[in-house]
Structure 1
Amino acid sequence: MSATTDLRPPHLLARLGTARVFMLIVAAVAVLMIAFPGLFTPYDPAAVDPSAILEPPSWAHPLGTDEAGADIWARLVYATRLEALIAGGSVLLALVIGIPTGLIAGTSRRVVDWALSSTASATLAFPLILFAILMVASFGSSPGSLTLIIGFLFFPRVFLLLRAQTKALREREFITAAHVVGVRGTRMLGRHILPNAAGPLATLVPQLMAEAVLIEAGLSYLGLGVPLPEATWGTILENSKAYYVTAPYYAISAGLAITLAAAALMFAGELVAESSNPMRRRRTA
C-alpha cells in the first residue's frame, strides 16, 4: 500500500482564514512601528515644509502631506506609539482595578458584593462617549488624563466578568475539592479561580484596546484629543476636517489607520476566544 501525500493546507492557516492572517500581519507591523518607527519612514513627523503643503500622494510622500507640509505617513507611523500607550495603559488600569474588585465581589458577602456591583452598574449606565466627554472636560485631554479616563470607563467590564467567573467557578467540583484539603483565601483565588478565569479575560483585553482606539479617535474628532505637538491618529483625523474637499487623502489615511488597528485587535480577541474554548476549536477544526 503506497503512502499518500497530504496536500491539505496547514491547519492553522485553514482555520484562521486569509482575512484573519492579514489582520495579524497588520498587528505585527503596528508592533514594529511602536518599537522602531524610524524603520518605516525617513521623515521627521514634526518637520514643516511650506513648499510642500497639502501635496497629493506621490513617490516622495506615499500618503501626501498635511497643512504644514509634513509627511502624513510619517505622522501616522510616529503616532502609533502614543496611540498604543493610551490604549494599552487604559486597559492595564482597568485590569488593575477590575480584577481584585471582581474577585472580592465574587467571594464576599452580599453587602460588599452589592456595593461593588452597584458602583460598576452605575458607571455603565452612562452613555460611554458622553461620560468620556464630561470627564475630559473636567480633567483635561493630556495622554495621561485620557488613559485614566478610558481605563475608568473600562473597569466595570473587567469587574463584572471576573465577578461572574468567580461565582461560577466557586460551584465547580475542583474548587470544592480544594476547600476539602484546606485551600482558602488568597491562595484559592490565586491558584485556582484566577487562572481559570484568565481565558475570558484574555479575550476581553484586545477588544477593550480596540474600543480605546475608537474612543480616543472620537474624542479627538470632537476637539478633545491630546494637544499639539503630540499627536495620535485621532488628532490627525481631527486636523484633516478642514480639507475633506481639497485633500481627501488626508482624512482617508487617518481613518484607515484607525479602522485597521481596531479590526486587527477585534480579530485578536476572537482568535484568543477560539484558542481558549475547546468546543469552538472542535467546530472550526
Structure 2
Amino acid sequence: MKIKTTAIQLTPPVRPRIGWFRARQILLGLAFAALLLMALFPGLFTPYTPGQIDASAILQSPSWAHPLGTDEAGADVWTRVVYATRLEGQIAVGSVLIALCIGLPLGLIAGNSRRFFDWSLTSVANATLAFPLILFAILMVASFGTTPGSLTVIIGFLFFPRIFLLMRAQTKAIREREFIIATRVVGAHPTRILGLHILPNAIGPLATLVPQLMAEAILIEAGLSYLGLGVPLPQATWGTILEASKDFYVTAPFYAVVAGLTITLVAALFMYVGDLIAESRNPLRKRRAS
C-alpha cells in the first residue's frame, strides 16, 4: 500500500523592507535637511534677495516669476520666507538651549536634595507656569525689548519650568532604584551618581519634550510678532511676515496664507517629531506603527 504525500510549501509573509515607521523617519529627515539648507544657504532656494523689490509688482498674485506672490513693497514672498528661516531657527533652538541649561541641572539638584531646597525651586517653577504664558511674554518683551537675543532669552525662561519639573520627577524616581542605592552603598560621590547614573537614565523623556518646545517657540514668536512685539526691521521672521500681511487679507489673501501655513506646518513638523520619538521609545507603539 502506497501513501501519497504532498509537500506544502510554507512561505513567510512578505514584509516590506522599509516599514511605515522607517519611511516617516526618512521623510522627516528630508524635511529637516531642507530647513537646515534654507537656514544656511538661502540663496540655493531663490534667485532674489529680501531687499530686492519691484515697484511694478506690488501685492502681485502667484506667478512664474514669483511663485508665492509679492508683498506690499514688491518683494518676493517666498524669498522673505526662506531668508527668515535662519533667524526663526536661531530663536527656536536658542530658547530651548537656554531652558535646558537652566532647567536640567536645577531639576537634577532638586530631585536629589533636601526638602527646603526642593520646595523652593519647585515653588518658583509652579508660580511661573501658573502665570498666563502670552501675558508673561508681553510683559517681559515690553521690559527688555524686541531684539532677537531678548526674545530668545524670554522664551527660554518661559520653558525652563517644564524641563525642571520633568527632570526633578525623573530624578526622584530613578534615585530609588536598586542600582542607584548600590552605588551609594559602595560610597560613590553624589555628583558622580547624578552625572553618570541618574542623568543618562532620566534624559529619555526630555528627547520627546525638546522638539515640542521648539514648536511652541515658533508659535510664541509668531504670536508676539502679530501683536507688534516681534523683531524690528530690517530683520524678519515668519511671525513678522504674518504681521505685515494682516492689512491685506482681502486684497492679497495669498500673502497671509503663505506666512500662516509656513508657521503651522513647521510647528506641526516639530510636534510630530516629538510623537515619533515617543513611539521609538515605546516598543509596543513602534511595532503597531511599522
Of residues 40-49 and 112-121 in structure 1, the stretch that sits farther from structure 2 once superposed is 40-49
Q: CA deviation at 1:248?
A: 0.4
Please name the residue that 1:263 is paired with: 268
Moved over 6 A (4+): none
Matched, 1:27 2:46: no
Report the residue type matching 2:21 in the other structure.
R
Answer yes or no: is 1:146 the counterpart of 2:151: yes
Which residue matches 2:20? 14
User: How far did 1:225 drift?
Assistant: 0.4
Matches within 5 A, 1:97-116: 97-116=102-121
**Cα displacement (A) at 1:34:** 1.1
1:58 aligns with 2:35: no
Secondary structure at the residue paired with 1:70? coil
Partner deviation per Cα, 1:211-230 (whole Å, 9 max, x = no partner): 00000000001110000000
Write the letter of the residue equivalent to 1:211: E
For residues 17 and 185 of structure 2, what CA distance do their matches in structure 1 show? 46
Q: Residues 53 and 76 of structure 2 are in contact (CA less than 8 Å); yes or no, is this contact kept in structure 1?
A: no
Amino acid at match of 1:280: R
**Residue number in structure 2 paired with 1:119:** 124
Secondary structure at the aligned position of 2:203 is classed as: helix
> TM-score by structure 1 length?
0.94
Structure 1 range deviating more: 20-29 or 219-228? 20-29
**Contact 1:54–1:66 (CA under 8 A) maintained in structure 2:** yes
* Partner SS state of residue 212, structure 1: helix
AA aligned opposite 1:10: R
Does 1:237 find its partner at 2:234?
Answer: no
Deviations 1:57-115 (A, max 9, x none): 01110000001111000000010000000000000000000011101100110000011
Query: Looking at CA atoms only, which structure, 1 or 2, has the larger radius of gyration?
Result: 2
1:73 and 2:81 matched: no
**When the two structures are superposed, what TM-score results if normalisation uses the length of structure 2?**
0.92
Deviation at 1:24, TM superposition (A): 4.7
Q: Aligned to 1:49, which of 42, 47, 54? A: 54
